[in-house]
Amino acid sequence: MSMIEEFKSFALKGNVMDLAVGVIIGGAFSTIVNSIVKDLIMPIVGLVTGGLDFSNMFIKLGNIPPTFKGNPDSYKDLQTAGVAVFGYGSFISVLINFIILAFIIFLMVKFINKLRRNEEPAPPPAVTPEDVLLLREIRDSLKASPRI
């Protein structure tokens, strides 16, 4: 089998096509979930924390260059200028986003699994094995026969 035929066989298998569709749908779905986190949930978190912005919390590790023209209290400006900064606030923001995102995905998967459970057909009625039927027939005939 030539390499092109082998690749064609591999690429056209159902699992590969399902994976490709899953990746594409997942990419589109991630933008929706990111928007939910960024636009709907994080403002509520900001309101609860009193407008606390974690993304601008950092510890400056390096010296600011003399040609620096930005705000020395801005994580983004210092990072752009190449100053070594320990950005723990950015990490906290990403961690909060991840926890919220994971919880939303958990709820969605739980909801989808619940829908799937409702759609499953009932199992077919159990078929009684033939030997059990024969034993029942013998039992019933013994009950009906006169005793001597």
Q: What percent of the chain has pLDDT over 90?
A: 4
| Cα separation, 93 vs 19, whole angstroms | 31
Per the CB < 8 A criterion, the answer to whether 83 and 65 are in contact is yes
What pLDDT is attached to residue 1?
A: 66
Residue 119 binned pLDDT confidence (cut-offs 50, 70, 90): low
Res. 95 pLDDT band, cuts 50 70 90: confident
Which is more confident, 127 or 124? 127
CA dihedral in degrees (130, 133, 137, 140; nearest 10)?
A: 160
Other Cβ atoms less than 10 A from the Cβ of 93: the count is: 18
pLDDT digits (tens, 9 = 90+) for 31-70: 887 788 778 877 887 788 787 777 778 888 888 888 888 8
Task: Check: pTM over 0.75? Answer yes or no.
Answer: no
Q: Would you say residue 81 has pLDDT above 80?
A: yes
Q: What is the pLDDT of residue 148?
A: 64
Indicate if the alpha-carbon torsion angle 10, 16, 17, 20 is positive or negative.
negative
Q: Is it the case that residue 120 has pLDDT exceeding 70?
A: no
Residue 69's pLDDT is 86
Cα(148)–Cα(137) distance, rounded to whole angstroms?
Answer: 20
d(CA 36, CA 41): 6
The one-character DSSP state at 62 is S
As a whole number, the mean pLDDT across the chain is 82
Is the model's pLDDT at 111 over the cut of 80? Answer: yes
